Structure 1
């Protein structure tokens, strides 16, 4: 099974390539399901799969850029490129949701009979199974690689699965009751759900671009590591963190006795930096050395 492949094999690039292939397959299945049933709910499902395809392609581009090494113009690397992928995906989702509501509103006012519901439901369930399996694998890999682009694509696939579930429930309701308007209601419910998800993705992207602090569990790991080096002659303060795509950054001050030699202070600082980077994979630590009786002034009102 794909979930049993080695972690190093399930890289963001490979999984996004898989997402592109799966998106093409699901577009084919869902478009065929809409064609044989003439269901606006299944049409909305197929429209979201086109967003899956566009999002996966754009995410692959951004992940490729994010993996570029640091250069003179980007000394901190290109990791924030992944946030553009998440924001772009959110914008696409919102656009599709609006289109679905427009199409469903027309069908709600003018219901039409549905055809071949059995085939339509079977094709929709098959495409959902593919999306669900891929999303499951992508979530696991996103945690390992700390990739927001991969996580965003996985969340969108999960949204697609719930979209299909809502559509299937609506179609079953139509088959059992004969109420044709349930098809349009299911499509509108799907649109509202993905509208919420799109807004959430755009919000997360904006927070990443604004140098949001690291996650609470990461901050706890940093604080625990620093605390292990506390001594009556050593103290740490001004701990500031931020995240940038796959990278995590922490800046802090280390106060030590003024009688220490520069070599001893540098050796101790190296030990702290190495411990921090071992505790938090992908972390970059910057420690400023200060004598115990000196305080840094960071809150200049002119800044």
Structure 2
């Protein structure tokens, strides 16, 4: 809810800056803020949906809902960029110098400071919670801050030189920057939807934990991981001596799972126990 409130405040300020100046560049900045509000609403819905517990319909949980929200963010960013490019094109054909430079720049500057602070908060909290939706929202806001900063510097040049076409050129540059941001958000989200593996450093931690806590087993192979929102899924085959009882093998699995839960947050683990004749002698982890 805070993101939506801040988005509405920033949208109002940027809309006021555009109304005061008539600048196409500031219009593009205000249009991007509309995207910010829409995506903040999408992120709120996705985060709440992702927190729902697994059920019979979705036995692995609702964690991937956040990736759909992040894809929506990327699509909205691209749509905004296309609209901005359209305005920039017509503005370049019929250029006009913006009005009220000092007031417009001041109002836009205040909006940018608010966005900067909130973007930093969202990025930090998104990483802490391992939330793709919150992280995408924060990264998009930070892109907005950078593009607005460029617009403000550029508008100073417009007013100083009197070259009205620069206003349209600035808007086009903002649009290109937004397009790049949108592509990055969609690329990262599609990776999550495709069951991308956890980062290499996390994979190393998982291997080390299994190796150090599987006393009595012979080998672990076919270790696979995937990320779905903040949840990490781990599954592998654990080879044990053929004479080992089910009770002892189960105890080894419990020990490994307990240590993995200490090392990796929000994790679901599936271990398939096999007899020694199933050993591959080339597994990822040999104990």
CA–CA separation in structure 2 for the residues paired with 1:214 and 1:38: 48
Asked whether the equivalents of residues 215 and 252 of structure 2 are also in contact (C-alpha less than 8 Å), the reply is: no
Structure 2 counterpart of 1:64: 48
Using the alignment, how far apart are the partners of 2:168 and 2:101 within structure 1? 15
**In the alignment, what sits opposite 1:113?**
97
Kept in 1, the 8 Å contact 2:223–2:234? The answer is yes
Q: TM-score with structure 1 length normalisation?
A: 0.90
Paired residues, what number? 280
1:187 is matched with which residue? 171
Q: Shift of the alpha carbon at 1:227?
A: 2.4
Q: Give the distance between the partners of 2:215 and 2:53, measured in 1 at CA.
A: 37
Cα distance in 1 for partners of 2:174, 2:80 equals 11
Partner SS state of residue 78, structure 1: coil
Q: Are positions 1:158 and 2:142 aligned together?
A: yes
Paired position in structure 1 for 2:21: 37
Displacement, 1:38?
0.7
| In the alignment, structure 1 residue 75 sits paired with structure 2 residue 59 | yes
* 281, 285, 288: which one aligns with 2:265: 281
The worse-fitting range, judged by mean Cα deviation, of 199-208 and 54-63 is 199-208
Which ranges of structure 2 fall in alignment gaps of 5 or more residues?
281-287
Q: Aligned residue for 1:86?
A: 70
Structure 1, residues 35-82: CA drift from partner, whole Å, max 9, x if none?
Answer: 111100000000000000000011111111111111011111100000
1:234 Cα deviation from its structure 2 partner: 2.2
Let me know the Cα RMSD of the aligned residues. 1.3
Q: How does 1:112-131 map to 2 (within 5 A)?
A: 112-131=96-115
TM-superposed deviation, 1:261 = 1.3
TM-score calculated relative to the size of structure 2: 0.94
Q: Deviations over 1:169-209 (max 9, x none)?
A: 11011122111111111111010001011111112222211
Equivalent residue number for residue 175 of structure 1:
159
Distance in structure 2 (CA, Å) of the matches to 1:63 and 1:145: 11
Partner of 2:278: 294
CA drift at 1:225: 1.1
SS in 2 for 1:236: strand
SS in 1 for 2:189: helix
| Structure-1 separation of matches of 2:71 and 2:88 | 26
Moved more, 225-234 or 181-190: 225-234
Q: Mean Cα displacement is larger for which, 149-158 or 108-117?
A: 108-117
Q: Is the 8 A contact 2:216 2:240 kept in 1?
A: no
| Greater alpha carbon shift after TM alignment, 228-237 vs 49-58 | 228-237
Which residue of structure 1 aligns with residue 253 of structure 2?
269
Query: In the alignment, does 2:205 pair up with 1:221?
Result: yes
Tell me the CA shift for residue 233 of structure 1: 4.9
Residue 229 of structure 1 and its aligned partner are, at CA, apart by: 3.1
Residues 81/34 of structure 1: CA separation in 2 closer, same or farther (3 Å cut): same
Q: Does 1:50 align with 2:34?
A: yes
Q: Which runs of 5 or more structure 1 residues have no equivalent in the other structure?
A: 1-16, 297-303
Q: Aligned residue for 2:284? A: none
1:271, CA displacement in angstroms? 0.4
1:294 and 1:287 map into 2 onto residues whose CA distance is 14
- Structure 1 stretch 218-227 or stretch 33-42: which is displaced more? 218-227
Quote the Cα distance in structure 1 between the aligned partners of 2:278 and 2:205. 27
Q: CA deviation at 1:226?
A: 1.7
